[in-house]
Structure 1
């Protein structure tokens, strides 16, 4: 990883210290289960695999992947929201991957491998976890989702861009567009992307996503993105770039068809571009954006017991 300037490093360490202070998981019935790397594959970067299984699974349960933030890990991510506790209520499986990057625990969102379908990198290891879980627990391949914050949001963008055939939907909180950190190397830091200097047209972003899986013409997953207007770690321009990218990929206008004020929280504005893409600007919110579990579950329709009512595959 490129060395960070002292001021930027201070920002990162402060932000991720704050993230570790998120409310702890309240009343999850079970603990995480580590799945040995020898049980699944390919996993070229040796991403560690943790599962959360509620005591009572749905028949053909959905899968929710929850990659952690930089300087976090699977255990911290498990404790950082109520998603695992809600899994006990609604019967979905959770996958908590753990980054192999011991330097800063950030995900590989920059290498050619991770940004290419079946090309390697952290993204392929995570997809291997999903395939293992689908087979072992008779899970529903049309109801696989990813949600993450910060580096986990970046990885969510990467997973949906590189593996549109695997995911039904994503929810990215304070991330960047697919390919924004691209640098032909593992765990590269892009100051230009972080500070909002990488600005492309919708057509250019679409071409970057389509190059990840050449010739693919199938289903594209729906996406919701959130970003704080006071984010000084990943600048708010990145929300605008995500909007341009995913509206272009999904064939939508980059002008919203509806705008909801004070939704889902006071001072937050949600722009609806169609059924498959929503974007939310959180006024005054920093990089330490708080996950709204209800919004995530509703987007993924995880409260639905049985076949999803909204999955579009």
Structure 2
């Protein structure tokens, strides 16, 4: 179901609600809200899940929610927190400060700039606080999200390649595709697949967010349904062009795997740092495969 929203008399068609299955098993613990954790210009909520048994230097998995969702919804929506009890990683569940539709700021100049502000900086402050508090492994910080959470995952990896090692984005858009003059800007041209650029053009946009960065860019896997009418499937092609260019990979996949991850899904492998999966007949309501995510991050 999609709701319509009006802001200051302007129509913005927001992202769809996601209907997620109830996990068969629940996490052993509960979320804890952290209030004083560092720079947080947009007042993003910080909810933390720490399992009772941690790895010696625990990895951190950030899981931003979808539009109209909350940190609590995301905590309950998959088995990722339950699996943290088994594998000993810490989870951060940010909560969007945008009360209008709970979508993430993936459009402002601030959030799209390294240390520039916006929601992304607040989330990075959560990561840094958690690393210090729990002696976490700074080389094993990851982000996974669906819909608006996938869009934020692209933003986090693009704006903070010095913080995140990898991402998993389900039904999102390329970094910078929603760029606009303000927070929570809805881009109908991006959503409907009308913003089409070359890989070089996307790379220029992403590189400009952190001029002079010389480190290793994070690896990323992206997923998109062919029947997505909220964020059109063209957005998968734009993500492919962007991340292959940013990671210095060939524009042609090294291999194509049919019925990979799920029946009817096709995975295009561009190397060990980037994969893209097209899910035949799947709508915007794409379901998370936790095993795939944990395998990609090396958390299992």
TM-score where L is the length of structure 2:
0.96
SS of the equivalent of 2:129 reads: helix
Identify the residue that residue 4 of structure 1 maps to in structure 2: 11
1:89-108 superposed Cα distances (whole Å, 9 cap, x missing partner) = 00000000000000000000
Identify the residue that residue 3 of structure 2 maps to in structure 1: none
Q: How far off its partner does 1:270 sit?
A: 0.3
Identify the residue that residue 28 of structure 1 maps to in structure 2: 27
Q: How far off its partner does 1:24 sit?
A: 3.5
Distance in structure 2 (CA, Å) of the matches to 1:188 and 1:151: 12
Q: How far off its partner does 1:217 sit?
A: 1.2
Q: Structure 2 matches for 1:247-266, cutoff 5 A?
A: 247-266=244-263
Name the CA shift for 1:264/1:52 in 2 (closer, same or farther; >3 Å): same
Distance in structure 1 (CA, Å) of the matches to 2:166 and 2:254: 20
What do you get for the CA RMSD once the two structures are aligned? 1.2
Name the CA shift for 1:115/1:224 in 2 (closer, same or farther; >3 Å): same
Identify the residue that residue 56 of structure 2 maps to in structure 1: 59
Q: Which runs of 5 or more structure 2 residues have no equivalent in the other structure?
A: 1-6
- Deviating runs (4+, > 6 A) in structure 1? none
1:180-204 superposed Cα distances (whole Å, 9 cap, x missing partner) = 0000210000000000000000000
Q: Is the 8 A contact 2:224 2:233 kept in 1?
A: yes
Q: Which runs of 5 or more structure 1 residues have no equivalent in the other structure?
A: 304-313
Name the CA shift for 1:4/1:263 in 2 (closer, same or farther; >3 Å): farther
Q: Is the 8 A contact 1:54 1:88 kept in 2?
A: yes
TM-score where L is the length of structure 1:
0.92
Identify the residue that residue 280 of structure 2 maps to in structure 1: 283
Aligned length: 293
Distance in structure 2 (CA, Å) of the matches to 1:176 and 1:21: 20
Identify the residue that residue 173 of structure 1 maps to in structure 2: 170
Identify the residue that residue 67 of structure 2 maps to in structure 1: 70
Distance in structure 2 (CA, Å) of the matches to 1:26 and 1:42: 35
Distance in structure 2 (CA, Å) of the matches to 1:20 and 1:105: 16
Distance in structure 2 (CA, Å) of the matches to 1:185 and 1:88: 39
